[in-house]
Amino acid sequence: MDTRTVRYLKSRFQDYYKTAEIGLPDHLPNREWAFVFYDIMPEKMMHRHRSFGLPGEALDYLYGMAPAHVYYSTAYYEFPDARKMNEKNWLGAELIFDLDADHLPDAPRNYSDMLELVKKEAFKLMDFLLDDFGFLEKEIELVFSGGRGYHFHVRSPKVLKLGSSERREIINYICGKDLEVKYLFKKVAMSGDVGKGSTGYYDRARNVPIKWEIKNYDTGWGKRFAKHLVEYLKTEVSVKKYKKDMFNELRTELELGRGSIKALIKMASNETALNDILTQGRLDFPGKDFKKVSEYIMGQSIKEYGIDFGASVDEPVTADIKRLIRVPGSLHGGSGMLVKKLTFSELEKFDPLNDAVVFSDKPVKITVSKPFSVDLKGKDLKIEEGIQEVPEYAAVYLICRGVAEHGYRRNQPDLV
């Protein structure tokens, strides 16, 4: 990035910070701050161990310095500006989840599609935090990262003192790691005798018919299992025309016999039985094949509803009790887009490529080093190599992405 381009970006960022609404963290004096400046890019050296006692100090610093990237610590420290980590005296830390589209398996190359995919993961995580863990929405701050994903800040008093090992246990639960069938089900004795042709399990010792019941079928992994099972059963009988084609994967993968397949078809064709799964957690699976079938469905449920830490979510961020995270209301130096705080209700309609773009439509001349395309503010921008005139928001984005310089260039740029 040449000197003129650095000056241009700093002036644009400084103009933004003049009136920006910055999401300053609670317990401001106990937070460490860190910055990356355009002057030293592309080395991207981080300047950290800063602290601010008052909101005005932080806001004045952002306006005066116009940094490329702005971070604060998820941890609370007694001495946040101490130069050595062991001298800061850790007091607690938020529980942080960093969803990054770039880590998703088979993520699309198109930026817009990538962001849409990671939004679906955000809804999954939201369900875990609110339903499974019982956090209140007011205890969670949702933030678009300004780049490829979303940050969740959990500030419940219950999590602040958790260590790394406890935070990894939360990760394991959300991704369904070590989840076993025996933890999801219990046997329930039914009244009456087992009728001829019943698909239920029979307890000969007690001489009573048994059905399986999903523990906590209306919440947590039990709810997800029940939902996926019903959707799977319905799909098999509605999509496949002939009974001989139904549950083919179970026939081959699990080597289920004709009796078990027949029982599954019967259950899938019975609306009352399907409703019982969702409203009572009751299952009428064949006894001898119950474990195999339930394990298969559980595995599919984990793929559908679980979150793959290390792929969808950056696991080290969640387990780290001394992490730095982007400041809501700041600008992302790799895109020029807003690190935007959102309510949960806003997420559905939130369009990052429009709602997180803060710069104007004013035309700006740039020199593009290679062809580039992006959707911004509802426009499909296809930028060719060479001198181009584009809206200011596009100019900032392309410069931040490293594919353009500000203004017209005759010779090689004078790198900073």
**308 among known catalytic residues:** no
Taking Cα atoms as reference points, which of 396, 390, 306, 316 lies closest to residue 358? Answer: 396
Residue 143 amino acid letter = V
Which tens digits make up the pLDDT trace of 168-226? 999 989 988 888 887 888 777 665 544 444 444 555 555 555 677 888 888 899 999 99
Taking Cα atoms as reference points, which of 328, 275, 337 lies closest to residue 62? Answer: 328
pLDDT of residue 196: 40
Q: If you write DSSP's letter for every residue of 39-100 in order, what string do you get?
A: GGTTS-PEEEEE--SSHHHHHHHHHHH--SEEEEESEEESSTT-SSGGGS-EEEE-EEEEEE
Rg over alpha carbons for the chain, rounded to the nearest Å, is 27
Which tens digits make up the pLDDT trace of 1-49? 888 999 999 999 999 999 999 999 999 999 999 999 987 666 678 999 9
pLDDT of residue 54: 96
The 8-class DSSP code of residue 25 comes to: P
**314 among known catalytic residues:** yes
Q: What is the largest CA-CA distance in the chain?
A: 91
Residue with tokens 């971070």: 71
The fraction of the chain above a pLDDT of 70, given in percent, is: 88
The 8-class DSSP code of residue 321 comes to: T
pLDDT at 128 over 80: yes
Distances (CA, A) of 99 to 17, 240, 325: 26, 36, 12
Q: For residue 209, say if its preceding peptide bond is cis, omega within 30 degrees of 0.
A: no
CA geometry: angle 91, 92, 98, nearest 5 deg: 145
pLDDT of residue 67: 95
pLDDT at 388 over 70: yes
263 against 134, higher pLDDT: 134
Report helix, strand or coil for 227: helix
Of 98, 276, 284, 289, the active-site residue reads: 98
pLDDT at 401 over 50: yes
Distances (CA, A) of 59 to 105, 241, 276, 327: 39, 65, 57, 12
Span 401-405, mean pLDDT?
91
Strand partners, 140: 154
Of 276, 284, 289, 314, the active-site residue reads: 314
Instruction: Say how many C-beta atoms besides its own lie within 10 A of residue 136's C-beta.
Output: 9
Which tens digits make up the pLDDT trace of 360-382? 999 999 999 998 888 899 888 88
**98 among known catalytic residues:** yes
Phi and psi torsions of 26, nearest 5°:
-70, 160
Sheet holding 149-154, edge to edge: 95-100, 149-154, 140-144, 340-342
Residues 236-267 as b or e (16 or more Cβ within 10 Å = b): bbeeeeeeeebbeebbeebebeeebbbbbbeb
| Per-range mean pLDDT, top range of 38-52, 79-93, 176-190, 402-416 | 79-93
pLDDT of residue 307: 81
Of 2, 60, 100, 245, the active-site residue reads: 100
Question: What's the number of CA atoms in the CB half-sphere (13 Å) around residue 168?
Answer: 6
pLDDT of residue 195: 43
pLDDT of residue 204: 54
